[in-house]
């Protein structure tokens, strides 16, 4: 005997409304940004618009699925337009499936605009590609109330949806200590300044990995980790200067995963955050000075 799952009319309406909003956005077409185009250019050896169309239309082409998947990947501009609706509604996994089913039977071909070619072409998504698009929107994610209030109180209205999208894409979850830490960061750092999201993205990633301990000690441990990575990268540079990559590989020496520039930048970010939120930071060696401390608000809201 089958199991009948009942949904309220309002929930059915929410699913249908979301499906219609996605269809409307797809109907407007998708602008292929520079990052996607750069990937296409490098992967397909600078193809012409006609070559791209040929790959898209040939279902037997082994490159088609990965190319269409890349083109239909919802970017931040697409997501920001949906975020106010997603923020107001909470979707379950079952309701996500309803949205997918609704879209699979109604999504028309999607116009892809490639400004690099000053042209466009159409893509007809398969049911699987529609499913992938909806799954990537992560509509079942829900921001914690503490952080939601911080966004509403401390983030400029024009940037609230983008902040929420960044959290949604990270599938961000944290404990109460982490939520309070992020709220204080949103309170203190000026989100209207250039460079804000460099700090924000770092902190979201850090808090998602932060163990159940006080934020400051965890932040300092992260700083020490990057400092050790910096020392390893500097040592590798010296070894490479004295020899060559092939010799080092034969000796079992591998290139570090993080460059000196990357590690120095992370340490500078940590110092900025620690000084702004805690008024102190540990010294682990001579590091380039912090770069964007002017992001700290001049007039904090409590």
Q: Model confidence over 202-238: pLDDT tens digits? A: 999 999 888 778 889 999 999 999 998 888 877 766 7
Q: Model confidence over 66-85: pLDDT tens digits? A: 888 888 888 899 999 999 99
Intervals of the chain under pLDDT 50: 1-9, 286-290, 298-302
Q: Model confidence over 128-157: pLDDT tens digits? A: 989 999 999 999 999 888 899 999 999 999
- Which pair of tokens denotes residue 162? 């983008």
Q: Where are the alpha helices (DSSP H) in the chain?
A: 9-27, 34-43, 49-57, 64-71, 76-88, 93-104, 127-137, 145-154, 157-169, 176-188, 196-209, 215-242, 245-250, 260-278
Q: Residue 293, CB half-sphere, CA atoms under 13 Å: how many? A: 11
The predicted structure's pLDDT at residue 275: 92
The mean pLDDT value of the chain amounts to 83
Cβ atoms 266, 239 nearer than 8 A: no
The predicted structure's pLDDT at residue 289: 47
The predicted structure's pLDDT at residue 163: 96
Question: Rounded distance, CA 242 to CA 253, Å?
Answer: 13
């Amino acid at each position: 005997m089958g199991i009948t799952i009942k949904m309220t009319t309002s929930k059915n309406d929410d699913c249908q409304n979301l499906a219609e909003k996605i269809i409307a956005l797809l109907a407007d077409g998708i602008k292929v940004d520079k990052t996607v185009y750069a990937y296409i250019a490098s992967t397909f050896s600078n193809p012409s618009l006609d070559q791209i169309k040929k790959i898209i239309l040939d279902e037997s082409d082994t490159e088609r699925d990965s190319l269409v998947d890349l083109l239909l990947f919802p970017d931040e501009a697409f997501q920001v337009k949906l975020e106010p609706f997603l923020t107001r509604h909470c979707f379950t996994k079952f309701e996500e499936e309803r949205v997918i089913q609704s879209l699979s039977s109604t999504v028309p071909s999607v116009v892809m605009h490639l400004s690099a070619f000053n042209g466009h072409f159409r893509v007809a998504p398969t049911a699987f590609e529609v499913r992938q698009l909806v799954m990537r929107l992560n509509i079942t994610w829900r921001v914690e109330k503490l952080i939601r209030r911080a966004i509403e109180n401390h983030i400029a209205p024009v940037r609230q949806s983008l902040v929420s999208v960044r959290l949604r894409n990270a599938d961000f979850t944290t404990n109460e200590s982490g939520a309070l830490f992020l709220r204080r960061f949103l309170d203190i750092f000026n989100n209207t300044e250039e460079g804000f999201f460099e700090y924000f993205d770092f902190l979201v990633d850090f808090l998602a990995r932060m163990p159940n301990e006080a934020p400051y000690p965890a932040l300092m441990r992260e700083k020490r980790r990057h400092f050790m990575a910096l020392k390893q990268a500097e040592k590798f540079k010296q070894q490479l200067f004295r020899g060559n990559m092939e010799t080092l590989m034969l000796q079992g020496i591998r290139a570090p995963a993080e460059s000196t520039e990357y590690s120095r930048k992370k340490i500078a970010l940590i110092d900025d955050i620690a000084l702004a939120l805690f008024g102190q930071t540990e010294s682990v060696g001579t590091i380039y000075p912090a770069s964007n401390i002017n992001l700290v608000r001049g007039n904090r809201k409590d």
